Amino acid sequence: MTTALYSLCAAGAWVAAGYKLSATRRLRDPTVTAVCVTLALMGMVLTASIPPLRVWLDHQLASVNFGVLLTLVCVVAFSTSAQVMLLLWTRTAEDARGAVRNRLIALAGVVVLMTALFLAAHPGPHDHSFSRGSAGNLGYAACLLIYLAALGIAMLAIARLGWRYARLTDRPLVAHGLRLAAAGSTLVLAYCVYRLGTLVGAWFGRDTAYPETLLRLIAGSGALLIMLGLTLPSWGPRFVHGIDHLRRYARYRRLRSLWQSIVAGRHPELVLEHSTARALRRFAPGELHFRVYRRIIELSDARLALRPYIDPDARERARLLTRHLDEQERSAIVAATELRSAVRAEQSAAPAGHESPGTEPAPLDGDVASALAWWARVARAYARSEWVAEALAAPTDADVYAATPGSPRRPG
Amino acid sequence: MGQPQVNRDGLKRRCRKRLRELELPDPFDLDRFCASLSERTGRPIRLLALELSPPGPCGMWLCTATTDYVIYQSATDPLHQEHIVLHELSHIACAHSATSVLRADTAERLLPHLDGDMVHSVLSRSHYTQEQELEAELMASLILHRARKDSRAKAKPDRRVPLSAEDDARIAARIERSLQTPVRYRP
């Protein structure tokens, strides 16, 4: 399971870094470059941590657990990159230049120190015990402390900045991304604190059993959340548009039976173009938007054409029955009742015998999306609303007033 | 009366060509579009919302000697009203001609709005059994479809959160710039 998790996280980090690389080339912005490098280094860390790969790396150089050393160095590099990213966020490029240079110099120094300590320490063949190899081995313990400190500092900084600026940004996807990154950093920070505890415990001879798989799951999940958070604002809009498109298509399909009933079946002269396009073509974004628009207009035209046949009594009954509902639902049910009563009267070629009543005003503001949502409600009510059926039947006034919320006769 | 045998492909091509020639305001605004069309024709265009009773049309274009009047149904929702107006404006944009005579009762209702002008010609929107009506309906649909598509491609207005300090605003802007990439697709 650890192999699968780290492989997935590593793949995700490399994809995210590649995604940001294209933006780096296009925008030539040092902050974007810093995000890209941070993600790439996260990919290096996770790749080197995949157990089979780590074991293979450990055996490539005689007497040196190269896999462990590579992981430690990559973590320190990742921490430095994350700190540079945060510096470039919180300062202008000119103000951050000095601090960035200092961080890079410190990185070089720490890498040299860590490598020297590691080589001098000669830790034993790598096993899955993080701390046991350090007990009594000062050099190795120092390496592990540097590793934990570097990772912990970076995670703490990302978590603090992420939570803060998630509240302050006015872009919803950036806010969600920062929250995800902050949550991921918090998980990895918890991993660091626990590892520190076991390291200190091992040094004092307390070798407590701890769930290694669970710890790696926490660290891997934290890394995944950080990756998602740093890239969500880039791919999020496409994802949101994709969901919107699916929702729009579902609502368009829901209008079909109503459109067949009152437009294609009764007033075909209102149809601009009978579609013979395949379903796949109808689903294409540009084509779907046009078809949704046409469907709404044709339904509106049919609604006007059916006005002389509307039964005003049925409409009043529908208004009374639904007076406790919110405006959108109430107006949709009343409109569906009007249409049902008008279709019924038109079929019997008998206008209602009164001056043409107006139609129930639709609570719409000129927006296609809200019109589509409203007509989807009308279509649903037209097809199967018990309120509509009740309004079209001809009860006495007493029955209508009795059908109030809480009354046992109130339809569901 | 059935649909006439209209060359639909030819009609669509003509409409798309006309659409390219029209200067649609961005973002789309009906009043601005009306004004630019009026400038092209050299005649004022007046929009009149009236309650039009069925089975009559829901929209009409009336020509007088000096002015184009667009009558549209008031008893419907704003999106439908906009479409009806655009249908009639499309007749103007396509330079359609009409020889229908106005019914006496309709003329009587409309006369107070017509500044005493004599009505020269009328075209009304009821159904698409004539090529001109088909063309106007297709144009209106394409205009609004294009207008909505352009507005969808732009970023939505952000909700504004008051920031505690200018520094925070600059930091938030840098974070946003580095995490977002410019939108390069058209939904």
Antiparallel, parallel or unpaired: β B59-63 and B45-50: unpaired
Question: What is the average pLDDT across B14-19?
Answer: 85
pLDDT tens, B116-163?
556 556 666 666 557 888 889 999 998 888 877 655 555 444 444 444
Task: Please name every residue paired with B50 in a beta bridge, in sequence order, or none if there are none.
Answer: B73
CA distance B62 to B68: 6
CB crowding A298-308: b at 16 or more within 10 Å, else e: bbbbbbbbbbb
- Closest CB to B76 among A171, A300, A365: A300
DSSP A6-42: HHHHHHHHHHHHHHHHHHHHHH--HHHHHHHHHHHHH
Q: Which residues have a Cβ under 8 Å from the Cβ of A98 and sit 6 or more positions away?
A: none
Q: Tell me whether residue B3 is in a domain.
A: no
CA distance A367 to B9: 29
CA distance A339 to A335: 6
pLDDT tens, B66-124?
888 898 998 899 999 999 999 999 999 988 876 555 555 565 566 566 555 565 566 66
Angle, CA B123 vertex, CA B119 and CA B124 arms, to 5°: 120
Q: Which helix (H) or strand (E) holds B19?
A: helix B8-21
B123 φ/ψ angles, rounded to the nearest 5 degrees: -130, 135
Please list the alpha-helical segments (H only) found in A255-323. 256-259, 279-283, 285-305, 312-321
Q: Tell me whether residue B172 is in a domain.
A: no
Contacts of A303 in chain B (CB under 8 A): 76
Q: Which helix (H) or strand (E) holds B123?
A: strand B121-125
Q: Which residues have a Cβ under 8 Å from the Cβ of B65 and sit 6 or more positions away?
A: B117, B118, B120
Q: Are A241 and B187 inside 8 Å of each other by CB? A: yes
pLDDT at A123: 59
Q: Where are the domains of chain A?
A: 2-237, 255-402
Q: Shortest Cα distance from B158 to chain A (angstroms)? A: 6
What is the domain count for chain B?
Answer: 1
Q: Are A304 and B183 inside 8 Å of each other by CB? A: no
Q: Shortest Cα distance from A38 to chain B (angstroms)? A: 12
CA distance A11 to A4: 11
Local structure of residue A141 (DSSP, 8 states): H
A385 φ/ψ angles, rounded to the nearest 5 degrees: -80, 130
Q: Looking at chain B, which residue has its C-alpha nearest residue A174?
A: B176
Q: Shortest Cα distance from A130 to chain B (angstroms)? A: 34
Q: Tell me whether residue B133 is in a domain.
A: yes
Q: Tell me whether residue B180 is in a domain.
A: no
Determine contact, residues A111/A73, Cβ cutoff 8 Å: yes
- Give the best residue of B133, B152, B181 to mutate against chain A (max A CB count within 10 A): B181
| CATH class belonging to A2-237 | mainly alpha
Token pair listed for A253: 């399909």
- Closest CB to A356 among B53, B177, B183: B53
Contacts of A34 in chain B (CB under 8 A): 178
CA distance A402 to A243: 43
CA distance A324 to A9: 51
Q: Shortest Cα distance from A245 to chain B (angstroms)? A: 9
Q: Which helix (H) or strand (E) holds A145?
A: helix A138-168
Q: Which residue has 């046949």 as its token pair?
A: A309
CA distance A68 to A79: 17
- Give the best residue of B175, B180, B185, B186 to mutate against chain A (max A CB count within 10 A): B175
pLDDT tens for the 412 residues of chain A, in order: 778 888 888 898 898 888 888 877 777 788 888 888 998 998 998 888 888 887 777 777 665 677 778 888 888 898 889 888 888 888 887 888 888 898 899 889 988 988 888 888 765 555 545 555 555 677 788 888 888 888 898 899 999 989 988 888 878 888 899 999 999 999 999 999 988 888 888 777 776 656 777 888 888 889 889 888 988 888 888 888 888 888 889 999 999 999 999 999 888 888 887 655 555 566 666 788 888 999 999 999 999 999 989 999 999 999 999 999 999 999 999 999 999 999 998 888 765 555 566 778 888 888 888 999 999 999 999 999 999 999 999 654 545 555 555 444 434 4
CA distance A310 to A107: 79
Q: Which residue has 């520094």 as its token pair?
A: B167
Domain span at B130: 8-153
Q: Tell me whether residue B168 is in a domain.
A: no
Contacts of A168 in chain B (CB under 8 A): 161, 163-164, 168, 171-172
Determine contact, residues A81/A41, Cβ cutoff 8 Å: yes
pLDDT at B157: 46
Cα–Cα separations (whole angstroms), residue A16 to A38, A147, A271: 10, 24, 47
Determine contact, residues A27/A239, Cβ cutoff 8 Å: no
The one-letter amino acid at B7: N
The one-letter amino acid at B15: C
Token pair listed for A400: 């209508």
Counting every residue, how long is chain B? 187
CA distance B64 to B122: 9
pLDDT at B100: 57
CA distance B105 to A22: 67
